[in-house]
Structure 1
Amino acid sequence: MVSSKNKMFLLSNGLYSSSDGGFKWVKSQSFNDQALTLAASGLNVIVGNYYGVSISTDEGESWVHKSPPVYGGSGLRIQALTINGNRIYVGYNFGGLFYSGDGGFSWKSTADSITSASSISSLFFDGDNVYAGTSSWSFSLANLYKSTDHGTSWTKIKNGLKNSKVISNARLGEKLFIGTNGNGIFFSNDNGLTWQESNQGLGSISISSIITIGENVYAGSSDGGGVFLLKSGGNRWDSLFDQLTDIGVTSFAKIGSKLFAGTSGGGVFLYSDSDGTWQTRNNGLMSKIITSLLVNDNQLYATTSRGIYKSIDSGASWNRLNSDLTDIYFLSLGIDGNKMYAGSVLNKIYISTNNGINWTDSVSVIGRINSIAIKNNSVLAATDGGIIGSFDKGITWRYIFTKVSHFIKVSGEKIYIGFSDGLFYSDDDGIQWHQINILPDNYPNQHTYLALETYNAYIFLSAGSEGILYSGDNGVSWKSINDNLASRYPNAYSNVRCLSVFNNYLFNGTQEQGIWRRDINTITNFKIPKSFLLEQNFPNPFNPSTLINYEVPIKSLVRLEVYDVLGRKITTLVNEEKSAGIYSIQFNGYKLSSGVYYYTLLANDFIQTKKMILIK
């Protein structure tokens, strides 16, 4: 998106303009070219496409097509452009940089020395100076160049700036900011002579856009990290999105009094027990897609979509381990002394015998390697093709089960495995396996078990569509503990991907609804109800929402419905099979008028109705 003198323009399957600050957008009828890039200056707007540029001198009311010279294999495909008055620079997809000083009527080639092996990825003016960002298959050719003489000569910028593809820029006073593809943000106080990183709170991520509003700087990430704010005079970026409310959570890890969460787009977060908030810990991570977290010897490890990382300072900084396995998408990790086992999406397990410096591929399997567990001499991996095991520390491997498993976990003296047809454990390092029957009240075993956590004699289990189950007797009997979790997001309990007990709370990370927690004491003191019960809503009277609690002694088809005084059904709050347990659900009457309403619980042969009063 760019701004001319009086309008805003953006590209989205066509060219759109707004003259009221972005409240209303109008698609241009006079511009039908397939557009790739966009720039504006004063009343001038320029669009780059597959066969040149289109220029408007009246803010998009009319357009004139201009064709810079054809460059090599690029044809006329314009990758980047910038405009300042009548001065225009255009960059090509496979190299080539041309300059026009008369609004596009005539063109001259410039800077062949910097484009012979690179694409022009970005162009921007900063006063009378112009900058060109290049990109290539090689990081050594991803650089930033500066010209102070209308493109006649160019200087590569080195001082403090990493080899990076530059994709965004902004200026605030004396500071010039640039956003890169994978190395975060850099700034210069001396018109580009020297550069410094500005990645505190941000990490080494891709920055697709930077803007300044007043004295503040805003940055948008294309890695799924959202929008960040650098306040006036500050040196740390703050995330502006609700970090862990609507994000996928893949894993938990604990170091002493610290709890970490890995996410599928936001990177790594550290929990603050004092105020219940989460802070990002992404400095040094090239990817914010975290597939697993692991703690070994008080050091934190993360597998990501772009390799394996290690932190020795509780996530404050990260260093990549697998320099000879660049950009492999890893899902799992196991560590035994200086020997490491890493599972990838490429159907392979890689082994390092020197703490991750060098790696060799050990075994190929069917499907992804979802989880790895190590106990004594046994190394076990849960894959899409089954459970494979090595009982000689990775020298030889064999299949133990040939069915899909999502997790394998060591807890105490036991190893647990979850399948779609049950939960299994071994107490002899994986030689023999025993099934745990999760069958209270005819509970079916056919569920996908996704995560497990143990706490003293208690087992907590994510059981797919049945939500979170709890056993207080080492798996002999089970209870559902989904109350209040499912009432807020109907699918939250069936998407729990990881569990952790921390500071007397059970934390669960969901696929799309962030992190939830529950006081462990409210669970371990839990008893199976002896009979069906519908409690009085609270508060009552209410405005506009109230909580309804009910109890289910055996697995039953449960319906909870709300009626008005004439007996007309207002809504159905619950209509599903429920395991034995205590449940809560919120009823919101914001669309209803004040008055008396009734709610009815129906389960097996049980029917009970209670009255509630809405007062607005």
Structure 2
Amino acid sequence: MNKFFAFFLIAIITMTGLNGQVWRRVTSPSHPSISDLFFVNNTTGWFCSSGGVVKKTTNAGVTWSEISFPSTDDLATIFFVDVNTGYTGGENQKIFKTTNGGESWTEIPVPQMSGNIVAIHFADANTGWMATTLSPNSQILRTTDGGTSWTVSITIAKIILDLTFKGTRGIASTSKLDMYYTHDGINWTQSTNATLPAGYTRSDIRGIYFYDENTAYATGWGSLIGLQPSIHIKSTDGGVTWQYMGQAVENRTYDNLYCIYFKDANNGVIIGGASKGTVAVRTTDGGVNWVPINIPCGVTIQCISGFGDQLFIGGNSGVLMSSTDFGNNWQLLTQIPSTNLNSIDAVTDNIIYTAGFNALFIKTTDGGATGHASFVRANNVSPTINDIYFTSENTGYAAHSYSMVSKTTDGGVTWTAVMKDTNAVTVSNAGVYFLNENLGWVTGKIANNVDVIHKTTDGGTTWTSQSNILQSNGRAVTFFDSNKGIMVGEKLKAAYTTDGGTTWIASVFNSLPPGTTTPALKNVTFRDANNAIAVGDNLILLSSDGGATWNYSPVNNLFESLSGVEFKDALNGWAVGSKNSAIRSTGLYQTTDGGSNWTNRANYAVFDTMVTLYEVSYTPSGDLWVSASSGIVYTTAVFNGTDDELTGIKDFSLRQNYPNPFNPTTTIVYNLDKRSRVTLKVFDVLGREIRTLIEGENEAGKHEVKFDGRDLSSGVYIYKLSTANGVISKKMSLIK
């Protein structure tokens, strides 16, 4: 279902630390969030995104090449007439055209005050339309000369959300259920709206699909708040009138739906989602009944393109997926979704798991050289994972929002909900801890400021629960053995137990720094039977009596909110977190004396302050792994020989680049036995020189050169090292 990928080694910067550890950033997000995508056939397609990003695939989404684009404005929509001619547009009333398949783009002037472009559609090479918004108004514009000039067809006092055509028949949807139609492509009329049942607080229509000149479908708003079913409406007269298509209770979804595709008159798919993961429904009777289907994805899907049974979808966090059997099975095309990784667990030196927002789950079984991304799906939902805990290489648990706890016994391949999800947005599980595969605890909240602690003795088959112990939201739980445990929460609350959680006693806080009120405590760990460490908003706390009392550990310039803490033994530990307000900073605090003294080891050559650190975990051999925002992971682990000493080099050699395959950067390492004149060049497979990386005298020793291929297309390239001792060349693969 999901592909393997090389963890992308972004930086190799030595940072002073215990045992001379070197921190590296080992993953990088593949794509920004996808605004829109368009395929002209079952292999060739494009997507657009924020920041003026446009990428193209010619192999059904397996690889994507970033296209040089003349603007950094956010793009919202993309449409291609054929494999060569296409249009994209977005903010600041800008629309761009390509006539060579996206290799180059030219901005097209549009009438002033048109606003942001939200949709583009062309009937042929000359005739097209676009919808623009400039709150509180919207316009629909028309061109008959391939976009050279545009005229305004209609201005309405509503926000247009989507626009689509079948020939010259068009439909536009708005944020207030109001629909507009045209049968000649020129004159627009407001439709007769569908009548919604009572109880809807909004009526946004976010997606439309014109199947033939008469039959059209539209979808949109849905919400768990008040259990407002996702809206389905249908027109059989070209958009003149619309009918609400109510669904059976067992088929109702309660999320926003965004995009529609029909392969024939009866069979269609609608996809969207938000709160508990991706939502997909399918009809086999022309939209009368929409039945939920399972899709192993957790993000909101914004766009769809299809050819018969083949589907392509894109959405938040840069997620792209495809199906070749009309949604029965899906393949994740994105190597690293750009979503927050809230938790990380290094089970062995080679097996590391990390998980987080939208239930993203990433696994490596070779110490970070390669990895496998997927989404945790249980009970047909994928709520955000707030914490994970593995008792072995195969058995693990995840604490989710919406009260769910999921379990895997096959290393994350499949998951089962051992505590079912709810529809209550204020119910959430935040922390999980297991002593063995059967005995464990989960903490969270059952309402705002009402904590809960769940306990299982049979691996999640049954649970006992207690609530309102902290009188705040529970955030983390840990146990030293089957009796001694601590839970912490928001508003500076903690409690401890000495009988396995049968009874909990409120902790006492001593010697807090001046001005401390009620900061949130976000994580806690034992370092031995009596001593524990808790971390939270701008503070580290120490306990020497199993959590009964806590004392402040003074740390110079601790500005960050710390959310992760881990100890290798009674003395050596790390705490991590970030400050996300101005002035931003990164906290990577190390102690070698049991927490009495801490030093921030964050080196900003490696740690970007725009990246939030969430959790830290030790491997059995002492390597550290840190999970962060945007799908980013850091480690001190050594792989691919990247931590070799600079002494003892005895020959002239060229190593394999790492990572390989790469996107967009990789590192080339070569060794010289003596001072030499060196040239290091990159060629394509036809022998054409692409770039000269090094040309000149080099001292003896080990040398590293970074190669950036962001301006190149995916493919195989050759790098060649030439010295007086000879010539060595190797191949490397750029995969976008």
Tell me the TM-score normalised to structure 1 length. Answer: 0.67
Q: Deviations over 1:335-360 (max 9, x none)?
A: 998985316997x3512679889996
CA RMSD in angstroms comes to: 5.4
Q: Match for residue 413 of structure 1?
A: 529
Given candidates 203, 220, 223, the residue that maps to 1:134 is 220
Q: 1:37 aligned to 101, 118, 125, which one?
A: 118
Distance in 1 of aligned mates of 2:604 and 2:697: 24
1:424-446 CA-partner distances (Å, limit 9, x unpaired): 765642236699999xxxxx997
**Which of the residues 531, 535, 538 maps onto 2:647?**
535
What residue is the counterpart of 1:527 in the other structure?
Answer: none
Does 2:256 correspond to 1:165?
A: yes
Say whether 1:380 aligns with 2:468.
Answer: no
**Structure 2 CA distance, aligned partners of 1:111 and 1:359?**
49
Would the alpha carbon gap of residues 188 and 288 (structure 1) be closer, same or farther in structure 2, given more than 3 Å must change? Answer: same
CA distance in structure 1 between the aligned counterparts of 2:138 and 2:603, rounded to whole angstroms:
54
Is the 1:351–1:360 Cα contact (8 Å) retained in structure 2? yes
Assess, with a 3 A threshold, how the Cα gap between structure 1 residues 265 and 65 changes in structure 2: closer, same or farther. Answer: same
**Alignment partners' CA distance in 1, 2:359 and 2:187:** 46
Structure 2, unpaired ranges of 5+? 1-76, 456-461, 514-518, 578-585, 656-666, 678-690, 703-723, 729-736
Partner of 2:694: 592
1:180 aligns with 2:269: no
The correspondence of residues 576-587 of structure 1 with structure 2, limited to 5 A, is none
Per the alignment, residue 320 of structure 2 pairs with 227
**Letter matched to residue 342 of structure 2:** T
Distance 1:177 1:390 in 2: 51
Residue 154 in structure 1 maps to residue 239 in structure 2: no
Whether 1:76 aligns to 2:165 is: no
Aligned partner (choices 190, 210, 226) of residue 125 of structure 1: 210
Q: CA deviation at 1:132?
A: 1.4
Alpha carbons of structure 1 residues 470 and 17: separation in structure 2 relative to 1, 3 Å: same
1:235–1:338 Cα change, 3 Å: same
Q: For 1:87 and 1:241, how far apart are their aligned partners in 2?
A: 36
Q: Name 1:326's counterpart in structure 2.
A: 425
1:311 shift after superposition:
1.3
The offset of 1:476, in angstroms, is: 11
TM-aligned CA distance change 1:234 to 1:321, over 3 Å: closer
The question of whether the paired residues in 2 share the 8 Å contact of 1:343 and 1:372 is answered with no
Aligned-residue sequence identity (percent) comes to: 12
Give the number of aligned pairs. Answer: 536
Pick closer, same or farther for the CA change 1:212–1:389 going to 2, 3 Å.
same
2:625 to 508, 514, 521: 508
Deviation of 1:63 after TM superposition, in Å, equals 3.0
- TM normalised by structure 2 equals 0.58
Summarize the Cα distance change of 1:489–1:212 in structure 2 as closer, same or farther, 3 Å threshold.
farther
Aligned partners of 2:292, 2:172: CA distance in 1, in Å? 28
* CA apart distance, 1:371: 3.3
In structure 2, relative to structure 1, the CA distance for the partners of 1:311 and 1:255 (3 Å cut) is farther
> Given the alignment, which residue of 104, 107, 121 partners 1:27?
107
Quick one: distance in 1 between partners of 2:623 and 2:238?
62
Q: Structure 1 residues 413, 53: CA separation in 2 closer, same or farther (over 3 Å shift)?
A: same
Task: Pick 1 or 2: higher relative contact order, CA cutoff 8 A, min separation 6.
Answer: 2
Distance in 2 (CA, whole Å) between partners of 1:35 and 1:595 is 53
Distance 2:614 2:431 in 1: 18
**Deviation digits for residues 467-513 of structure 1, max 9, x if unmatched?**
68697xx9599999x9xx989946699957320436x6845133253
Post-superposition offset of 1:47: 0.9
* Contact 1:36–1:78, Cα closer than 8 Å, also in 2: no
Select 1:47's aligned residue among 112, 127, 131: 131
The 3 A distance-change label for structure 1 pair 141 and 345 is closer
CA distance in 2, matches of 1:395, 1:435: 20
Provide Cα deviations, 1:348-406, integer angstroms capped at 9, x if missing partner. 351267988999655456xx8653335647543165x6563356845756435636665
Q: Please point out which of 461, 471, 493 is paired with 2:574.
A: 461
* Whole-Å separation in 1 of the counterparts to 2:186 and 2:327: 41
Q: CA deviation at 1:251?
A: 1.5
User: 1:262·1:268 contact (CA, 8 Å) conserved in 2?
Assistant: yes
In the TM superposition, what is the alpha-carbon distance from 1:409 to its structure 2 partner?
Answer: 1.2
Aligned partner of 1:311 among 389, 401, 406? 406
Distance 1:106 1:248 in 2: 44
Larger radius of gyration: 1
Distance 2:180 2:595 in 1: 75
2:454, 2:465 within 8 Å by CA — same for their partners in 1? yes
Tell me how far 1:40 sits from its aligned partner: 1.2
* Distance of aligned partners of 1:120 and 1:163 in 2 relative to their CA distance in 1, 3 Å threshold: same
* Amino acid in structure 1 at the alignment position of 2:192: T
Q: Do the aligned partners of 1:130 and 1:150 also contact (CA within 8 Å) in 2?
A: yes
Residue in structure 1 matching 2:150, options 63, 72, 76: 63
1:101/1:61 Cα in 2 relative to 1: closer, same or farther (>3 Å)? same
Are the aligned partners of 2:335 and 2:373 in contact in 1 as well (CA < 8 Å)?
no
Counterpart residue number, 1:207: 301
Q: Residue 488 of structure 2 aligns to which amino acid in structure 1? A: A
Q: Which moved more, 1:113-122 or 1:534-543?
A: 534-543
Superimposed CA distance per residue, residues 257-292 of structure 1 (whole angstroms, 9 cap, x where no aligned partner):
986422346623344569953241421586665332
Partner Cα separation in structure 2 for residue 265 and residue 134 of structure 1:
20
Cα distance change of structure 1 residues 199 and 540 upon mapping to structure 2, 3 Å threshold: farther
CA distance in 1, matches of 2:238, 2:339: 46
Among candidates 452, 456, 465, match of residue 351 of structure 1 = 452
- Pair 1:262 & 2:355 matched: yes
- Quote the offset at 1:76 in angstroms: 3.1
Question: Is the 2:533–2:542 contact (alpha carbons within 8 Å) kept by the matching residues of 1?
Answer: yes
- Quickly say closer, same or farther: Cα 1:466–1:217, change in 2 above 3 A: same
Shift of 1:326: 1.1
CA contact (8 A) 1:55 1:63 kept: yes
Following the alignment from structure 1 to structure 2, what is the Cα–Cα distance between the partners of residues 452 and 537?
39
Gaps of 5+ in 1: 439-443, 523-532, 549-562, 567-588, 601-611
Q: Does 1:17 align with 2:17?
A: no
In structure 2, what is the Cα distance between the partners aligned to 1:3 and 1:349?
Answer: 49
Q: Is the 8 A contact 2:273 2:299 kept in 1?
A: yes
Residue 342 of structure 2 corresponds to: 250
Q: Give, in angstroms, the shift of residue 220 of structure 1.
A: 1.2
- Gap change, CA 1:309 and 1:31, over 3 Å in 2: farther
Question: Per-residue deviation at 1:135?
Answer: 1.4
Whether the 8 Å CA contact 1:44–1:85 is kept in 2: the answer is no
Counterpart of 2:713 in structure 1 is none
Letter in 1 for 2:247: K
* AA partner of residue 204 (structure 2): S
